[in-house]
Amino acid sequence: MSTSLASTGKVVWPRKVVWHVLVLGVLLVLLYPVIWLVSTSFKPATEVISTLALLPREPTGNNYAEVFDGVGEFGVLHYFWNSLMISAGAVVGNVVSCSLAAYAFGRLHFRGRGPMFGFMMITIMLPQHVVLIPQYVIFQQMDMVNTFWPLILPKFLATDAFFIFLMVQFIRTLPRELDEAATLDGCGPVGVFRHVILPLLRPALITTAIFTFIWTWNDFFSQLIYLNDPEKFTLPLALQLFIDQATQSAFGPMFAMSVLALLPIGLFFLAFQRFLVDGVATSGIKG
């Protein structure tokens, strides 16, 4: 496995080549459906559904032109903006609230920790469809339906137990000696959190941010339920306006817009994934 150690000189260079060829080969297989998707977005309307071929017979940019002509009453950028607002709000909410809760679960001792942790895990296990209506009633009581609040507020209240659990697991891999040293230096729990845990938690925070952004971006279901006004529609909601079972569907533009919708999250991932790498620096502290 870890070939990075084998830099002893003799056959280093072919090994790198082998690695690149291996990675590219696996990628080609895995990305085939993505390539198909992108290529389909350049097919004319009558080819989109009726052929399975990878390449369009008569490539066309019309699908993209149609998307930029506007979907619903608004331009495509309008929906991008709405999606961006919601996703950004969700990221801030999750990073803040989940790291606070995770520190408490992972490091502090308090009464009811076990049962509360157990309950938190249980909240991940209940299928969404059966709590949908009661939750809808609650947001309606708070007069929040048809606003972005039902999509953002829960993140600030740490309802995504997935991320709490993620961070708890990370915090527990951090050596306790660091906390103890900080405590000896006069830090209280808040100080330990700020000066020891948070900096070391960075890879997990970045992971949380990336996942929250992407999952919120793609979250069709909650957005469908809580947003009524087309002015507040997000990309996934605008996407389904292209399709209708009974009448004519615009599959070409739908593919074009799916591809466009991928770009921001793709770029987001590309931009932030290197901070995962920077996490390496933290391992120097151990030792």
Partner 1 sequence: MGRVSRRGAAGLLVGLMSLTAALSGCGAGDSADGPVTLRFVWWGNEDRAKVTRAAVDEFQKRNPDIKVETEYSGYDAYFQKLSTQVAGGAGPDLLQLDRATVGEYAGRNVLADLGEYAGKDLKIDKIPPNLLEGGKVDGKQYAVAGGATTQMLIFVPSHFEAAGVKVPTAPGEKWTWAQFAEAMGKVGAAGQVAGTTDFGWAIDWFEVWLHQHGKSLYTPEGKLGFTADELAEYWEMIGTMRAGKGVSPAEVTTKMDGSVQNSGIVTKQSASEIGYDSGVTGYFGAFGTDLKVAPLPSDAAESGMAAMPPVSFAVSQRSKNKEAAVKLLDFLVNDPEAGKLLGASRGVPPNEEIRAQVCATAEGGSKAVCDYEAAQKDKIGPAFGAWPTGSSAIKRDFQRTYDDVIFNRVSVADAAKRVIQDAEKSLGS
Partner 2 sequence: MTQSVLAGTSGTSRPEVADSPPLATAPRGRKRRGQGVAYLFLSPWIIGATLLTIGPMAASLYLSFTDYDLFSPPNWIGVENYVTMFTGDERFWHAAWVTTKYVLISVPLKLGLALAVAMLLNRPRMGVGLYRSAFYAPSLLGASVSVALAWRALFSTDGTVDKVLASVGVDTGGWVDQPQYALLTLVALAAWQFGAPMVIFLAGLKQVPKELYEAAAIDGAGPARRFLSVTLPMLSPVILFNLVLETIHAFQAFTGAFVVSSGRGGPSDSTLLYPLYLYQRGFTDFRMGYASAMAWVLLAVVAILTALVFRSARRWVFYAGEDR
The reply to whether 260 sits near partner 1 by the rule CB under 8 A is no
Residues 6 or more apart whose CB falls under 8 angstroms from that of 44 comprise 56, 58, 60, 62, 252
- Contact partner at residue 254 from partner 1, partner 2, none, CB < 5 to 8 Å by partner kind: partner 2
Among positions 133, 140, 198, 244, the unique one binding partner 2 when judged by CB under 8 A:
133
**156 sits in which H/E element:** helix 149-156
What is the C-alpha to C-alpha distance for residues 253 and 45, in angstroms, rounded to an integer? Answer: 9
Q: How far is the CB of 245 from partner 2 (least distance, A)?
A: 9
Among positions 38, 92, 144, 225, the unique one binding partner 1 when judged by CB under 8 A:
225
* SS3 annotation, 72-125: CCECHHHHHHHHHHHHHHHHHHHHHHHHHHHHHHHHCCCCCHHHHHHHHHHHHH
Which CB, 32 or 61, lies closer to partner 2?
32
Task: Return the closest-CA partner of residue 169 out of 97, 272, 98, 112.
Answer: 98
Which CB, 37 or 96, lies closer to partner 1?
37
Burial label, 19 (beta-carbon count in 10 A; 0-12, 13-18, 19+): exposed
Among positions 14, 115, 127, 134, the unique one binding partner 1 when judged by CB under 8 A:
134
Site for partner 1 in 47-76 (CB under 8 A): 48-51, 71-73
How many positions of this chain bind partner 2 (CB under 8 A)?
Answer: 114
- Contact partner at residue 79 from partner 1, partner 2, none, CB < 5 to 8 Å by partner kind: none
- Contact partner at residue 45 from partner 1, partner 2, none, CB < 5 to 8 Å by partner kind: partner 1
What is the C-alpha to C-alpha distance for residues 226 and 233, in angstroms, rounded to an integer? Answer: 10
Site for partner 1 in 94-133 (CB under 8 A): 132-133
Segment lying near partner 1 (by CB under 8 A), choices 118-126, 139-147, 157-165, 185-193: 139-147
The reply to whether 283 sits near partner 1 by the rule CB under 8 A is no
Q: What is the CA radius of gyration of the chain?
A: 24
What is the C-alpha to C-alpha distance for residues 224 and 217, in angstroms, rounded to an integer? Answer: 13
* Residue bearing tokens 């331009």: 75
Site for partner 1 in 152-211 (CB under 8 A): none
DSSP 3-state of 153: helix
Kindly list the residues in this chain that would bind partner 1 in the complex (CB under 8 A): 45-46, 48-51, 71-73, 132-134, 136-137, 140-141, 145, 220, 224-225, 228-230, 237, 240-251
